[in-house]
Structure 1
Amino acid sequence: MKFKVFDTSLEGRGHAIGSFTLEDLMNDWLSKHKNVDIKSVHMQECLNGQLIVLVMYEEKRNRHLQQKKFNLSEGEDPNEFMKNHDVVNVSTLRDEGWDELTTVVTYEDEEND
Structure 2
Amino acid sequence: MDLQLMEKQLKAVSDSNRLTLLSCLKSAEVCVCDFVDILGISQPAVSQHLKKLEEAGIITARKVGTWKHYRLIENQTPIIRAVLDELEERQACNCGTGTSCD
TM-score by length of 1: 0.28
Structure possessing the higher relative contact order (Cα contacts under 8 Å, 6 or more residues apart): 2
Structure whose CA Rg is larger: 1
Structure number with the higher helix fraction is 2
Question: Which structure is higher in strand share?
Answer: 1
TM-score of the aligned structures, taking structure 2 as reference length = 0.30
